[in-house]
């Protein structure tokens, strides 16, 4: 169910490798590689690791491959969702975690088709599921839908993205998960920012920051991004009040690890959000400092992530204006 073949094929294409060139580089038989990349044969662990290394996926591509027990469990639950078990939910959550890591190292275009296929299958299983494990599957399904919306947002398929984020929000509300609800609203704010709609930026990030159950690290980033929207509208006093709210949450956020559904929300990452905020406020030197520190503080495997391009462009603009 991991759609490894599609992911690997697209990642190779985006990395500039033909099938023959990839086989030659990895010292594999091209016929075997062809069968794997066309979904006719499962990859060995060694081949999955070699492909992962070739495209620079940092282990994320290889992690999408299920072992035999996981495949069996998922297949049984897919055929009869009412008999969902814990192992299936664990496997689906593991695949999702791998896809999220892929988002940090490959182009969205390489991940979107498989992401959408996974989302449809997981939500189908959720709708048919019953019993003790249904709530946990609902969390996984909500996150899959949210992640799909995020991927489409990065590809600027805004209408489809917002529709999925609305669906993710409803799922999160259904199970009372504030961190998932806040993240769906946050991604709607991201869409508004790509559309250069300050009112939408302020609205959705402010809603995310005030969502019951949101993690303090989420609230910091959301208040800062809402402040950027307010500043872009000329509402400077309101923007500064939001910055103050974010700053008051700093100690609390530092005392709690970020939620697993928003693992990237470290103090260093929120320097990037402060950079976007101070740029909107016209404090260009501060923006340069925050953006540089935030980018430098990212783990090495995230520094070239596609989503980081927005912050690098913001740094360029701030440096020119400083």
Q: What is the pLDDT of residue 211?
A: 97
Q: Determine how many CB atoms are found less than 10 A away from the CB of residue 248.
A: 13
- Helix pair angle (178-194, 198-209), 10° resolution: 170
Q: What is the pLDDT of residue 160?
A: 97
The CATH number, out of the four listed (2.60.40, 1.25.40, 1.10.3470, 3.30.450), of the domain defined by the range 177-322: 1.25.40
pTM for this entry:
0.89
| Backbone dihedral angles phi then psi of residue 205, each to the nearest 5 degrees | -70, -35
Q: What is the pLDDT of residue 266?
A: 86
- The domain segmentation of the chain, as residue ranges, is 177-322
322 residues of the chain, pLDDT tens digit each: 558 888 999 989 988 999 999 999 999 999 999 999 998 888 989 999 999 999 988 888 989 888 888 888 888 888 888 888 899 999 999 999 999 988 888 888 889 999 999 999 999 999 999 888 998 999 999 999 999 999 999 999 999 999 999 999 999 999 999 999 999 999 999 999 999 999 999 999 999 999 999 999 999 999 999 999 999 999 999 999 999 999 999 999 988 888 887 888 888 889 999 999 999 999 999 999 999 999 999 888 788 888 899 999 999 999 999 8
Tell me the C-alpha distance between 158 and 177, whole Å: 24
Cβ(273)–Cβ(281) under 8 Å?
A: no
Q: C-alpha angle with apex 281: 275 to 282, nearest 5 degrees? A: 90
Residue 281 CB partners (closer than 8 Å, separation 6+): 227, 228, 231, 236, 239, 240
HSE value, Cβ hemisphere, 13 Å, CA-based, for 138: 19
Tell me the C-alpha distance between 183 and 173, whole Å: 12
Q: C-alpha angle with apex 297: 14 to 144, nearest 5 degrees? A: 50
Q: What is the pLDDT of residue 240?
A: 96
Q: What is the pLDDT of residue 119?
A: 94
Residue 16 is given by DSSP the state T
| Backbone dihedral angles phi then psi of residue 158, each to the nearest 5 degrees | -65, -45
Residue 35 CB partners (closer than 8 Å, separation 6+): 41
Q: What is the pLDDT of residue 2?
A: 59
């Amino acid at each position: 169910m991991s759609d490894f073949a599609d992911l690997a094929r697209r990642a190779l294409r985006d990395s500039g490798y033909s099938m023959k060139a990839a086989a030659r580089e990895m010292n594999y038989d091209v016929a075997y590689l062809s069968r794997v990349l066309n979904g006719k044969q499962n990859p060995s662990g060694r081949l999955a690791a070699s492909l992962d290394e070739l495209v620079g996926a940092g282990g994320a591509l290889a992690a999408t491959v299920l072992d035999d027990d996981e495949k069996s469990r998922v297949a049984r639950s897919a055929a009869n969702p009412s008999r969902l078990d814990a192992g299936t939910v664990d496997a689906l959550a593991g695949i999702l975690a791998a896809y999220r890591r892929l988002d940090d190292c490959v182009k969205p275009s390489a991940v979107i088709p498989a992401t959408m296929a996974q989302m449809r299958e997981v939500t189908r299983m959720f709708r048919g599921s019953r019993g003790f494990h249904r709530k946990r599957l609902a969390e996984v399904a909500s996150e899959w839908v949210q992640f799909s919306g995020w991927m489409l947002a990065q590809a600027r398929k805004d209408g489809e993205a917002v529709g999925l984020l609305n669906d993710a929000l409803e799922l999160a509300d259904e199970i009372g998960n504030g961190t998932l609800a806040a993240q769906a609203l946050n991604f709607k704010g991201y869409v508004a920012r790509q559309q250069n709609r300050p009112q939408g930026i302020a609205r959705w990030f402010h809603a995310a920051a005030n969502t019951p159950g949101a993690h303090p690290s989420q609230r910091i980033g959301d208040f800062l991004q809402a402040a950027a929207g307010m500043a872009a509208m000329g509402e400077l006093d309101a923007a500064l009040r939001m910055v103050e709210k974010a700053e008051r949450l700093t100690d609390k956020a530092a005392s709690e690890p970020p939620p697993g559904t928003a693992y990237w929300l470290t103090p260093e990452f929120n320097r990037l959000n402060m950079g976007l905020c101070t740029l909107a406020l016209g404090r260009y030197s501060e923006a340069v400092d925050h953006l540089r520190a935030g980018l430098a503080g990212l783990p090495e495997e995230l520094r070239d992530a596609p989503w980081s391009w927005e912050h690098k462009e913001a740094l360029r603009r701030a440096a020119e204006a400083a």
